[in-house]
């Protein structure tokens, strides 16, 4: 008899003894927190009205959840990329607007400090989304394999002699990688293996350094 073929959905359903598919609760909460941080930015740094990002991201997350419930994981994955791209687009505009307004000083020093803090936190969340979405083909592809061996990061759990062979990173693991990259301006306990991941971590560190040193420093000097 021919060997039956299994797609990622079948593997996710049959590997009950290994790795369960990751719940969406934490990534969704992080997405709405990111939109909340964006709404706290000064009005001059927003692309459109304050509620626009939240509305367009929610419009993408609704079909994402529906596709996920119907086990259409590829379409859900595409919607996830769209939501991350939208947040990145809006935040990129805000960063450019903040740099543009530095010489004119339209905003008060307190507003600039608050904007710098919000953008720094948004930067951490955005890159955690991208690491989580891209590493190893995304959360569904990682779950379908039942283990994490071909990813772009060397997590400490992978080097433990008596570790769980079915361990796979979740969103909080990538959030920690993004947080440490933005605070230390380099990876800490999780080495970066692939070239695209190295480019992303370099970009994240550059943005974080620019926010902390140039923008926040400028605001402190004019207080």
Q: Which helix (H) or strand (E) holds 158?
A: none
**Burial of residue 169, with CB atoms counted within 10 A of its CB: 0-12 exposed, 13-18 middle, 19 or more buried:** buried
pLDDT at 14 over 60: no
* pLDDT at 20 (0 to 100): 62
* Pure H helices in the chain: 8-14, 25-39, 52-69, 73-101, 109-134, 139-145, 171-184, 195-209, 217-221
Strand partners, 192: 153
Separation in Å, CA 163 to CA 132, 147, 157: 21, 12, 6
| Domain spans of the chain, in order of start | 24-221
pLDDT in tens, 152-193: 888 888 777 666 667 788 999 999 999 998 888 777 778 888
* pLDDT at 212 (0 to 100): 77
């Amino acid at each position: 008899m021919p060997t039956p073929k299994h797609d990622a959905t079948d593997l996710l359903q049959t590997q009950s003894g290994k790795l369960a598919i990751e719940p969406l609760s934490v990534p969704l909460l992080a997405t709405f927190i990111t939109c909340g941080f964006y709404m706290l930015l000064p009005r001059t740094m927003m692309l459109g009205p304050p509620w626009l990002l939240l509305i367009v991201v929610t419009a993408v997350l609704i079909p994402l959840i529906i596709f996920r419930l119907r086990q259409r994981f590829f379409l859900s994955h595409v919607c996830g990329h769209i939501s991350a791209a939208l947040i990145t687009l809006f935040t990129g505009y805000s960063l450019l607007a903040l740099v543009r307004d530095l010489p004119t000083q339209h905003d008060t020093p307190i507003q600039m400090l608050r904007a710098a803090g919000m953008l720094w936190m948004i930067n951490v969340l955005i890159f955690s989304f991208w690491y989580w979405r891209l590493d190893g083909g995304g959360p569904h592809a990682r779950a379908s394999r039942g283990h994490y061996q071909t990813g772009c990061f060397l997590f400490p759990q992978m080097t433990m002699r008596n570790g769980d062979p079915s361990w796979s990173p979740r969103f909080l693991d990538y959030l920690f990688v993004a947080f440490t990259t933005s605070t230390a301006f380099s990876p800490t306990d999780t080495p970066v293996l692939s070239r695209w991941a190295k480019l992303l971590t370099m970009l994240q560190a550059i943005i974080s350094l620019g926010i902390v040193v140039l923008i926040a420093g400028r605001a402190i000097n004019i207080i």
